Amino acid sequence: MAPFTQGCGAIFTMHHVTAKRPGAFLPNQHLEITPEFLRVSVERIRRNGYEILALDEAVDLLKSGYGRKRYAVLTFDDGYRDNLEVAYPVLKELKAPFTIYVASGLIDRETELWWVALEHMINTNDALVLAESGTGEGIPCRTVDEKNACYQRLLDFLTTEASESEQRQIIRRLAERYDFDLSALADRMMMNWDELRQLSSEPLVTLGAHTHGHHALARLSDDDARKDIMTGVYRMQAELGRKPKHFAYPYGNPVAVSARDARLLADIGFNSAVTTFPNVLKSVNARNPMMLPRVSINGHFQQEYIIDQYLTGAPFALYNAARWARGGFGVRSGVSRLFPSTR
Ligand SMILES: [Zn+2]
C-alpha cells in the first residue's frame, strides 16, 4: 500500500520518555516510551530515508511544496520533566531536533493533571465516590479489572458528558476527598520555567504552545477558547522572552478540535497547529497548516517494525477507511488499538 499511502513526511507525537513502570493498572502507559525505544525510533526513521527536521523547517517545506526530501518531526506534548532529563540527552547525542508543546498552566502549577491524578486515586482506593454528598458506595475499583473499568468510565464521562469546567471541579473535589495533592503532582512531573529556559536556549529545541489550561478547545465557548490560547501565549512570552509560533491542540482528537479553533489560531498568527488525527503528512496538508495530522508513538507497541509501518502511512489509511465504513469488516477494532486517545 505504501506507494499510495506514504506522504512526504510525518510528525511524531510523544509524551513521556521514562523507564518502564511496574504494576498492572497503568491506564496512561500508551503515553510512555523508554529512552531505548526513543533511540531506536530515531535511528529507524533515519534508516528509512527520512531526515529529522526542526518544526520550522518542516512547516516551511510543506508550505512551499518541495516534496523532494522525506522528513520527520519529533514532538512532545505538555512539558514533562522527563523530556529534559531523559529524552533530551538521547536526542542531543543523536543530533535530532525536537519540539515540546508547553501547557503553561501545568508549568505554573495551576492546571490539573487530571488523567494522572485519576490513575493515582483509582490505584490507591477500593472505590471512588463521585457524588457531592459522599454517600453511596461509589464506583468499585478493588481489582485490576475494576480499576480499568472505573478509569474508562470516568474518562468517558469527564471528556464527553461533563463540561470542561465541571471536569476540573470533579477532579478537585475527588482530590480533596482522597487527600491527593494536585500541585505537588505537577511539581513532581512537569518542568518549571527555569528548566524550560534552559531548553529554550538549546538550538535543537523548539518550544510550542499547548494552551494554558489544557482544555479541549472545541468544547469551550469562542471567548474561553481564545482566552485559553492567549493566556498560554502570554505566559510563554513573559517567561521565555519569545512568542511561540507553533501550536498543538490539547488531546488533539475530533472531540477537542474544531474548524473554529483553526481559524482562531490563524487569526492569532500561528505558523502551524498539530492535531492527533492519525496520519502521515501529505502535500494536501499544506492547504490547512492549522490542522496537521500526527503519528502518536504508542507505548504499548514499542517494537522497531512499527516505526516502518507508521512511515508507510498504511495503518492510517486502514484506520480512516474503517472509520468511514463505521467499523465494518472488523478492521476498525483491530487497528484502533494503535490509536487510543492521547492527552
Ligand atoms: Zn497535552
Q: Distance (Å, rounded) from C-alpha 338 to C-alpha 334?
A: 8
Give the Å distance between the CA of 66 and the centre of ligand 1: 30
Task: State the distance from the centre of ligand 1 to the C-alpha of 8, rounded, in angstroms.
Answer: 25
User: Long-range contacts made by residues 186-189, C-beta under 8 angstroms, separation at least 24?
Assistant: 186/106, 186/109, 186/111, 186/113, 187/109, 188/81, 189/80, 189/81, 189/113, 189/116
Q: Classify the phi-psi angles of 214: left when phi > 0, otherwise alpha if psi is within -120 to 50, otherwise beta.
A: left
The verdict on 208 and 243 lying in the same domain is yes
CA of residue 41 to ligand 1 center, whole Å: 21
Q: Is residue 341 part of a domain?
A: no
Residue 133 pLDDT = 61
> Does the pLDDT value for residue 329 go beyond 60?
no
Ligand 1 centroid distance, CA of 315 (Å): 23
DSSP reduced 3-state for 290: coil
Last residue of a domain, one of 140, 155, 189: 189
Q: Say yes or no: 242 and 294 in one domain.
A: yes
Give the largest Cα separation in the chain, rounded.
64
Same domain, 96 and 144: no
Q: 189, 211, 227: which is the final residue of a domain? A: 189
Residue 99 CA to ligand 1 center (angstroms) comes to: 13
Pairing assessment for the beta strands 127-128 and 139-140 based on DSSP bridges? antiparallel
- Beta-carbon contacts of residue 212 (< 8 Å; ≥ 6 apart): 103, 104, 105, 108, 110, 111, 228, 231, 232, 235
How many whole angstroms from 343 Cα to the centroid of ligand 1?
4
Distance 101 CA to ligand 1 centre (A): 8
Per residue in 205-239, pLDDT (tens digit) is 999 999 999 999 999 999 999 999 999 999 999 99
211 C-alpha to ligand 1 centroid (Å):
9
Overall size of the chain counted in residues: 343
Asked if 196 and 64 sit in the same domain, the reply is yes
Torsion of CA 125, 166, 154, 230, to 10 degrees: -110
- Mean pLDDT over 314-323 rounds to 86
Tell me how far apart the alpha carbons of residues 163 and 231 are, in angstroms, rounded to a whole number: 20
Domain range for 122: 111-189
Q: Which cell numbers in the block locate residue 337? A: 488499538
Expressed in angstroms and rounded, the spacing between residue 210 Cα and the centre of ligand 1 is 7
- Answer yes or no: is 37 within a domain: yes
Residue 127 inside a domain? The answer is yes
Which of 5-14, 60-69, 80-89 is the least confident region? 60-69
How many domains in the chain? Answer: 2
Task: Give yes or no: residues 222 and 278 share one domain.
Answer: yes
Q: What CATH number has the domain bearing residue 20?
A: 3.20.20.370
Q: Cell triple for residue 106?
A: 501545568
Pairing assessment for the beta strands 127-128 and 98-102 based on DSSP bridges = unpaired
Predicted TM-score (pTM) of the model is 0.94
Task: Inform me whether the pLDDT recorded for 323 exceeds 90.
Answer: no
pLDDT digits (tens, 9 = 90+) for 81-111: 999 999 999 999 999 999 999 999 999 999 9
CA nearest neighbour of 189 among 15, 30, 48: 15
Least confident of 9-23, 186-200, 237-251, 307-321: 307-321
Residues 93, 201 share a domain: yes
- Predicted pLDDT at 337: 64
How much distance in Å is there from the Cα of 293 to the middle of ligand 1?
A: 15
Distance between CA atoms of 82 and 35, rounded to whole angstroms?
10
How many angstroms is it from 341 CA to the middle of ligand 1?
Answer: 11
Residue 135 confidence class, pLDDT cut points 50, 70, 90: low
SS3 category, 254: coil
Domain boundary among 189, 208, 225: 189
For residue 191, report the distance from its CA to the centre of ligand 1, in Å.
Answer: 14
| Same-domain status, 149 and 232 | no
Say what the pLDDT of residue 342 is: 85
Pairing of strands 272-278, 32-33: unpaired
Q: Is 179 among the domain residues? A: yes
Q: Does 324 lie in the same domain as 252? A: yes
Q: Read off the C-alpha cell for 227.
A: 482566552
